[in-house]
Amino acid sequence: MIRSVPRVSADQHGADQHGASHGQTLLLRASSITKTFRADGTAVSAVRGVDLMLGHGEFAAIMGPSGSGKSTLLHLLGGLERPTSGEIWLNGRRVDGLSQAKWAVLRRQHIGFVFQFFNLVSNMTVADNVELAALMGGATKRQARERRDELLADLGLSAKADAAPARLSGGEQQRVALARAMVNRPSLLLADEPTGNLDSSGSQSVLRLLTRAHADGQAILLVTHDARVASAAERVISLFDGMIADDAAMRPPRAKPSQRRPAPLPTVLRLRG
Ligand code: ADP
Ligand code: MG
């Protein structure tokens, strides 16, 4: 099943014919993926044949009713669950058959994942949760601290840096989970309802961060129920009953020139200029 072991190096655009479409390289391609859960002799088909392509730097939102398979789809695309059938290609390489260990390496360097229920490390401070992810992604201690402080400030969490996650509100924990997922500037951010627990000012800071990440060239695929968040995306994919019911291009959002940042350097982490 494993055709090639992905090299987690600078080869970000090495798509072969399986990852290329209309001359544009694809970041992610899922082909006819399904996921059936079996428990107590019953089978639940959570994802029932999804074809999906996402380009480098593309920002797409997934919407759909509860139970339609949104979280399962995101887990499949991030390698947290293995598909029952179908293929997943990342940067032109087939990844659906990779071991958990190989997926972990891939995620650490290329994919940020925000879980619906945060999954923060409870016995570490907010700051350490974010910093550890940076260190695991290969940052030096100094880079990890700088990036951590920058993200916590962007998300209005500086005052909570030394708190334990349990002392935070749901919305604050959700923003810490986003900071952790973004700390290695992943080429792909997969986020499961990242504003689901936020008040409007929290949502705005998350939206600002996502818009800037998108302007920086990071691809984003997020599940949301929030029309405002979805309207920031270039594309809205509607999931219904484990299948894509609609996939609509929106008018591409444009960041104001003053909000634009220089194109990202090809390293995992950049020092702030
Ligand atoms: P959504 O995120 O759109 O609410 P989910 O992907 O969580 O939907 O779930 C889709 C379907 O798959 C639901 O019927 C859910 O009960 C089922 N499901 C999800 N995860 C599991 C699991 N680990 N075991 C069994 N059934 C599951
Ligand atoms: Mg869900």
User: 35 CA to middle of ligand 1, Å?
Assistant: 10
E strands, 152-240, in order: 188-192, 219-223, 235-240
Among 48, 72, 81, 223, which is best to mutate for testing ligand 1, by the most ligand atoms less than 8 A from CB? Answer: 72
Output the ligand 1 site: residues, CB below 6 A.
37, 39, 44, 46, 64, 66-72
CA distance 128 to 83: 33
Instruction: Report the pLDDT value the prediction gives residue 2, as an integer from 0 to 100.
Output: 39
Instruction: Report the pLDDT value the prediction gives residue 257, as an integer from 0 to 100.
Output: 52
Return the ligand 1 atom nearest residue 65 CA.
3
Q: What are 152-187's pLDDT values in tens digits? A: 999 999 999 999 999 999 889 999 999 999 999 999
User: 116 CA to middle of ligand 2, Å?
Assistant: 7
**Ligand found nearest the CA of 69:** 1
Query: Greater confidence, 147 or 171?
Result: 147
User: 204 CA to middle of ligand 1, Å?
Assistant: 29
Q: Please determine, for residue 37, whether its predicted confidence score (pLDDT) is greater than 50.
A: yes
Select from 41, 43, 32, 24 the least CA-distant residue to 76: 32
Q: Output the CATH code of domain 56-80+97-259.
A: 3.40.50.300
Query: Greater confidence, 261 or 53?
Result: 53
User: 90 CA to middle of ligand 2, Å?
Assistant: 23
Nearest residue by C-alpha to atom 11 in ligand 1: 46
- Mean residue pLDDT of the chain comes to 85
Lowest-pLDDT choice from 14-18, 114-118, 155-159, 210-214 = 14-18
User: 57 CA to middle of ligand 1, Å?
Assistant: 28
**Ligand found nearest the CA of 72:** 1
Domain segments of the chain as ranges: 56-80+97-259
Buried b / exposed e along 96-125 (16+ C-beta atoms within 10 A)? bebeeebbeebbbbbbbbbbbebebeeeeb
pTM: 0.83
Lowest-pLDDT choice from 5-9, 46-50, 51-55, 118-122 = 5-9
Return the ligand 1 atom nearest residue 66 CA.
4
Q: What are 66-121's pLDDT values in tens digits? A: 999 999 999 999 999 999 999 999 999 999 999 999 999 999 889 999 988 878 99
Return the ligand 1 atom nearest residue 74 CA.
6
Q: Quickly state the pLDDT bin for 13 (edges 50, 70, 90).
A: very low
Return the ligand 1 atom nearest residue 39 CA.
25
Inter-residue contact 110 to 8 (CB < 8 Å): yes
User: 267 CA to middle of ligand 2, Å?
Assistant: 32
Q: Per-residue pLDDT averaged across 267-272, rounded?
A: 40
Give the three-class secondary structure for 70: helix
Give the three-class secondary structure for 126: helix
Nearest residue by C-alpha to atom 25 in ligand 1: 37
